[in-house]
Amino acid sequence: MWFVKSWIYRSRYGKLPFKMRNFTESFQEECRESIKEEFKGITGKLPHIWTRLRLKDAKDNMHGSYVDVLGRPHPVKQPIFTENEVARFRQHKGVYIFVFFLMVFFESILYSLMANLFISKTMRKEYPGIELVFGLAFAIIFVAALHFAFKSMWHFFEARYIIEKDNLPKVELKPFYKNLILAILILVVFIVTNVYTGFIRATIFEGSGTTSTSTFMQKLHGPLLVFSIAITFIVALVMALLEKEIAEKSEKYKVFKNWKKQQKERKEYNTQVKNMLKKCVERKDILTEEYWGVMKDLQRVFDKEVDDDKQGLYEELNAKIANNEIDLRKVDDTLYQKYLHVAATRHELFEYGINSDSEITGAIADLRSKVSEIEEFEKRNSSNEKSI
């Protein structure tokens, strides 16, 4: 149906002496409005995102230090840990959790044996498995207390080391004595109860008859007693060593983890801002080409590039371009205003009428400024990571 539209345009506007410059200015204005409208859609979330990025700057300052066991802040340069160190720390935490539940398992068995001393036969018959519930409850409480004891003990040693290293007043160590005494008490109770329950377990395995099996089990009394106690203490020792590793780095790791989270969110925001700039430039160029194409179609419909009264101006433009008096790669406002009425004959002039709009140039300049700031931050952050 293009020929119908062409006929309508020729019959309606063909005799107007200013039709070409009128269409040029109209299409430029329409193109500018279309670009601005699309920019609004693309950059709608920019104020919110930029506010979030400014908040990230403030949070980065918060994550620039950690607090030691004495409560003193220490500045750090992020990232505190390398990827290998993070992997090792996570591995230690995973092993610690496994050992923690393994300890609960061993202790629940031991305390379920002790339950026979506290729970009557009648109750055990009425509630089958109650000794297991009893053992599990005591095991959880005891292992949690053991975790507290190890943590308190390592905090005390770390505090004493810092005080001696930095020549701080001995009074700084006073708050840690209470938890240290409590930790020692828990460890003593742990040792006593496990020796006792280990003895009970080994005794149960002996049997009560005089058969060969009973005699054989009596011979195993000593080894079973030692094994039942040793296996629990070995697991507790592993738990204590892992607790030391975790206690030393837990505060730093929390700071690092929060910093890493902020960096991940910042990266997402940075990517969104960069994409906004990319989309705005792309849409501006695409819409400019579309309207330029429409202008070329109209020139074919009317079989002319400029209005008759502007033919001389058009020839002057071509002559100056041919003589290298005008460089269309360096179009400015003076040149554009002079040849405005023949702007549809040169892509550079037509495009300048769109690109020179203050709202369009301001929006792109603002995005480029923000992207430049983002890239500067990323470059600085990358150099910090490499230095570490």
Residue 220 has pLDDT above 60, yes or no: no
Q: Where are the beta strands (DSSP E) in 68-147?
A: 73-75
pLDDT tens track for 7-39 = 555 556 556 667 788 888 888 999 999 999 999
Strand partners of residue 74: 66
Q: How far apart are the first and last CA of the chain?
A: 67
Q: What is the residue whose two structure tokens read 């003589």?
A: 323
pLDDT of residue 229: 72
Q: What's the rounded mean pLDDT across residues 120-136?
A: 77
CB 220 within 8 A of CB 203: no
pLDDT tens track for 290-342 = 999 988 888 888 888 888 888 999 899 999 989 989 888 889 999 989 998 89
CB 201 within 8 A of CB 224: yes
pLDDT of residue 1: 44
As a whole number, the mean pLDDT across the chain is 81
Does this model's pTM top 0.85? My answer is no
CA 247 to chain centre: 24
Name the range with the highest mean pLDDT among 2-11, 174-183, 190-199, 250-259. Answer: 174-183
CB 150 within 8 A of CB 183: yes
Burial environment of residue 38 by CB neighbours within 10 A (0 to 12, 13 to 18, 19 or more): middle
Which tops the pLDDT comparison, 25 or 66?
A: 25
Pair of tokens at residue 385: 């990571």
pLDDT of residue 384: 56
pLDDT of residue 15: 61
Residue 54 has pLDDT above 50, yes or no: yes
pLDDT of residue 206: 47
pLDDT of residue 264: 87
Name the range with the highest mean pLDDT among 108-117, 141-150, 282-291, 308-317. Answer: 282-291
Element (H, E) at 65: strand 65-67
Q: What are phi and psi of 75, to 5 degrees?
A: -65, 140
pLDDT of residue 2: 46
What percentage of the chain has pLDDT greater than the value 70? 83
Q: What's the rounded mean pLDDT across residues 40-65?
A: 83
